[in-house]
Structure formats: C-alpha cells, structure tokens
Amino acid sequence: MRKRPGYGSLLIVGGHEDKEGEKVILRAFVKKVGKAGKVVIATLASQEPKIMFEEYETALRSLGLRHVHHLSIESREEAMSDSRRRVLDGADAVYFTGGDQLKITSQIGDTPIYTRVCEIFEAGGLIAGSSAGASVMSETMMVGGEQESTYKIESLLKLAPGLGLVPGVIIDQHFSQRGRINRLIGAIAQNPRMLGVGLDEDCGIMLQRGRFQVVGSNAVHVLDGSRVTFSNLTEAEPETSLCIYGVRLHVLNQSDTFDLKTRRPRYNPERVVRQWVGLPPEKE
Amino acid sequence: MRKRPGYGSLLIVGGHEDKEGEKVILRAFVKKVGKAGKVVIATLASQEPKIMFEEYETALRSLGLRHVHHLSIESREEAMSDSRRRVLDGADAVYFTGGDQLKITSQIGDTPIYTRVCEIFEAGGLIAGSSAGASVMSETMMVGGEQESTYKIESLLKLAPGLGLVPGVIIDQHFSQRGRINRLIGAIAQNPRMLGVGLDEDCGIMLQRGRFQVVGSNAVHVLDGSRVTFSNLTEAEPETSLCIYGVRLHVLNQSDTFDLKTRRPRYNPERVVRQWVGLPPEKE
C-alpha cells in the first residue's frame, strides 16, 4: 500500500457485504491495501469473533490478500494490554466487523488500541468497518433500538460518542433494509451541521480527503439538513412526532462520488468502480 | 354540511386510523360533514365488506353521525346498476375503506358510481379514503408489492391509474410503518411534476383548494422532486439501484399545512386541529 501520511482512507459499509459472489466491496478493500499489505480484522463488536474472523479471512485470502491477522478483545482490561496492541504493529489496514457498536467504543475508547488505530489512519492507512463497525466511524453514533415507524421526539436521545474518524458525518447502516430513514432524519435534526449518510447492506463508501465514492450493489442515502427551514425538535413534547422541513436527500449508486465540503453528489457510471477493482464492466 | 360547489374536500388517510381512542381523524371527518350529513362507507376494496362497514359505522355513530350508509359492490356489473348508485343520492360524503386499491378502480372506473362520486366532490362534498382508499385519490397510484429494501429501476413499473381526484400528487400509505420511502422516491423520479405524499398510519391530510392540513397522531412525508438535478432512471439497467440527487423532503405533523402550488409547508401547533375537532388542547 502506497501510504501518504495525513491522507488515510475509510471504507464504511452498511453490513452484509458480499463475501461469496463478486465481492466488490472486499475487492475494493484489497485493491486499496494491496495484496502484500498487513490487514487486521477487529471482531470487537461480535458475539462470535472466531467465526466472524474466519469468514473475512477466507473471503480476503480468496482475493489474494496474504497477511490477515485477528484482533479479538473480551474486556477493556485486555484492550489496555501491550500484547493485544502488538497485533496492530505494522498494519496497513484494520477492518471492524459487525455486532454491537457499543462493544467497540466502550472497550477500546481511550486505550492504546484506539491510539494505534488512529496512528494507522493518520499514517495513510485504511480503516474499514461494516455494520456496527461502520457506525463507530463517526463522532456521534446511533445506538438506539429499531425505529420502524414514525419518529418521536423522545427517540432522539439514542446516540453515543463514536471513534470520531469522520467529523461532521453521522452514519447509519442496514439502511433501506431496516427502514431507518426516520431515525437518521431525527439525528440530523438535532444539528444540521452533521451530514446523514445511510448505507444499505452490501453497499459502502470509500472516503478520502473529504470526498467519498460509493462501492457495492445497493444505494447510499445522503441527508443534508443545511437548508432545513424548521423543526419542532425543541418545542414539542417527547411523544410528539418529529417535524422538519427542507431536508435535501440524495440517493447514490456505485461509483457516484460526494464532496463533504460542498455537499454535492456527482454521477459516474457503475462500471468505473467495477473496472477499478478488476471486474468486467457489467455483471454477467 | 355547508357545501360550496367547486370546492370539494378530500380526507386522505394512511390506514389504521384510530377508531376506539380519541379518533382524531374520524372526528375531523364528522366535523367537516356535520352530524346531520349523509355519509356512505364504500367498502369496495375490502375482502370483508360487512365487518369493515360495521367498524366504521360504530365509530362514526359514537361521534354523533346519524346517517351512515353502506356501498358494497362485488362486480363491475353491479357498479353499472342503478340500484347501487342510488345509495349515493343526496350523499354529503363518501369514505373509501382499505383493502386492494385495484378492486376500487377496476370496479367503478368509468361507471355511474364513479360519476356520482365526482359529482358529490364537485358539489362541495367530502371524499375520504384510508389505505387503499387513499391511494386511489391520485391520478397515478402505487400497486406494487412491498419494497422494503433498495429501489431497483425495474420496480418503477408497478403503478396504475387512480380515480384522479388529486392532480399532481402521488400518494403512498402505511408509509413509515412499512418503510416505503424508496418506492415513493422511485415514483416521483419518473416525473418530478408529481409531488409524493407519504401518509403514516393513523395520519391523514384534509385537502381543499390546493392546500392540505395534517390530521392524526403520526407524520406525513412530502417528497418534492422539482429541484432534482439528476437521476439515472433512463440510463440504467433494470436491476440497477435508482440514483437521484436533490429531492426535498418535508416531515409534517398534525395541524401543519402544505400549499400544493408553492410546495411550501407551514407549521402550526398540534392543538389547532385538536381544538377544531373538539378535543382538549393536549392529550390526557
């Protein structure tokens, strides 16, 4: 991996990335790291870390990746130990798998492990995360239970601090599959400075230098609250439905890019990413 | 009911309107028609028209409505008959209940029943519809199966002509409850002239003279495609995800109003509708 200090990349995935078919997302990961790169799979969020690791290991090795290591932590105490941290030595990329996002932040927040992850990122490495591993990328992350129906003001509190690798963005995953648009609108209503990024399953974004590109088979929803003209957030009773006017919504496809500063999407044909990861222009 | 010819009203409801608690939506219906008005419950969409009728009849009579009639049609032949049409004579309001929207349009489209419904509306009457009864109000209605995940281009074809009482609007119901935002985005992508209105359960809009007000406990989502800058609708393969940039999204609460011409929402405290229908300002 040719690393440029200060220009780390993030691969943020909505969960259930394809591990048996064309594996576009994992191909993008391998393409970015390089087949000789050192990769650490961090299964901190998972209830079954060993099975999870093996799934990723098999898929990544099938794409030619040679150095795949496992970071598993059972407690915060372990996260403090030198021995655990050492698996990250010389790593080019870390992949946070799914599960419970609070298990990641509560175990490694403010520990040597977290510091090392930041160092890898700042040295120009790649930090990837899927599902719970995607949520933790942001400064503030969603932790609430499912919100399948109308959004009530009281629900807005189900947030927790994330790892803070992407400032100004709040991420939600399994987005279309679990009908989560209302809870993401609820989150950006609190502070329209935050851009809402909703990632579908088997879909992700590759983010570098304030710009991301969509990778995968489904869609990315971007919710931009910067032109919101009204919300009842502070005026209403907790059981009242959230009301908000003027949210801008973009639905992006594979290869489309988005500039976080100008908040503008840009179209690219799907084949752009396919060709970059070494697949034929169209699916057979 | 004081009727003004040319200024009929529509009450369009997302399904499962409360029939046992505060019944805000049914109260708004009765308030508009007046307790002495003649109301016809049209159970055309339903598999169990008798049970459906009795449910509405009980709820509406409990609110003081005296003249509640039943219109049930089993076939298009029946819709052609004079006897069926006569139940609509002198009616001030018609309430289309839920079920299958195609049963409504295929049975009464271009029949004397349909003509009479339009006459009641044009004479200043009130036409209400819930769930399937809501969908048929528009020129073009959704009929497709559930779309719980990412929207694919090919899904866009699941539309059918409605009764056409609301021009320029496409309605979806059970909106947040069934995670239907993607399919409504898909519909407006086809023609941004159409405004997308997504009604949650126990939530509806009272529409008159190009302006509607929200009634009920949940939210109404308005999707405005007039500022859309790009969509891949015509360029992509059927199995590609829909991509669209710059949809404006408003989430409205009870009492909020929306002007269909200017496409602007306006906030009102929830108590405005509560007081109009004779309820105390706040729920106890």
- Interval A207-260: pLDDT, tens: 999 999 999 999 999 999 999 999 998 887 778 888 999 999 999 999 999 999
ipTM of predicted complex: 0.85
Are A249 and B148 within 8 A, CB to CB? no
On chain B, the residues whose CB falls within 8 A of the CB of A270 are: 236, 240
**Beta-carbon count within 10 A of A233 CB:** 16
- Among A150, A219, A243, the residue with its CB nearest the CB of B267 is A243
By mean pLDDT, which of A47-56, A155-164, B151-160, B256-265 is the weakest? B151-160
Restricting to B residues 129-188, those with a Cβ less than 8 Å away from any Cβ of A are: 148-151, 176-179, 181-182, 185
pLDDT tens, B96-105? Answer: 999 999 999 9
pTM of the model: 0.90
Residue B3, pLDDT > 70, answer yes
- Among B217, B241, B253, the residue with its CB nearest the CB of A243 is B253
On chain B, the residues whose CB falls within 8 A of the CB of A247 are: 248-251
Residue A43 region by backbone torsions, left for phi larger than 0, else alpha for psi between -120 and 50, else beta: alpha
Residue B151, pLDDT > 90, answer no
Residue B70 region by backbone torsions, left for phi larger than 0, else alpha for psi between -120 and 50, else beta: beta
E strand or H helix that includes residue B55: helix B49-62
Choose from B205, B231, B251, B254 for mutation: most chain A CBs within 10 A.
Answer: B251
Q: Which pLDDT score, from 0 to 100, does residue B5 have? A: 75
Which residue bears the tokens 């399948």?
A148
On chain A, the residues whose CB falls within 8 A of the CB of B250 are: 244-247
How far is residue A262's CA from residue A275's CA, in Å, rounded to a whole number? Answer: 27
Are B256 and A267 within 8 A, CB to CB? no
How far is residue B170's CA from residue B82's CA, in Å, rounded to a whole number? Answer: 32
In 3D, which of B150, B161, B160, B237 has the Cα closest to residue B185?
A: B150
Are A178 and B179 within 8 A, CB to CB? yes
Rounded to the nearest angstrom, the minimum Cα separation between A253 and chain B is: 6
Say which residue, A277 or B283, is predicted with more confidence: A277
Q: Which pLDDT score, from 0 to 100, does residue B260 have? A: 96
By mean pLDDT, which of A257-261, B39-43, B157-161, B169-173 is the weakest? B157-161
Q: Which pLDDT score, from 0 to 100, does residue A6 have? A: 75
Rounded to the nearest angstrom, the minimum Cα separation between A193 and chain B is: 17
Rounded to the nearest angstrom, the minimum Cα separation between B223 and chain A is: 9
Choose from B233, B244, B249 for mutation: most chain A CBs within 10 A.
Answer: B249
On chain B, the residues whose CB falls within 8 A of the CB of A240 are: 253, 270
Is B30 in a helix, a strand, or coil? helix
Is B19 in a helix, a strand, or coil? coil
E strand or H helix that includes residue A114: helix A112-122
Contact A147, A183 (CB under 8 A): yes
C-alpha distances out from residue B93 to B35, B88, B105, B119, B129, Å = 12, 9, 18, 11, 11
**In the 8-state DSSP scheme, what is residue B65?**
-
Q: Which pLDDT score, from 0 to 100, does residue B223 have? A: 97
E strand or H helix that includes residue A130: strand A126-130
Average pLDDT along chain A, 284 residues, taken 10 residues at a time:
81 97 98 97 96 98 97 91 90 96 91 93 96 93 70 72 90 91 89 93 96 96 95 83 94 97 96 96 82
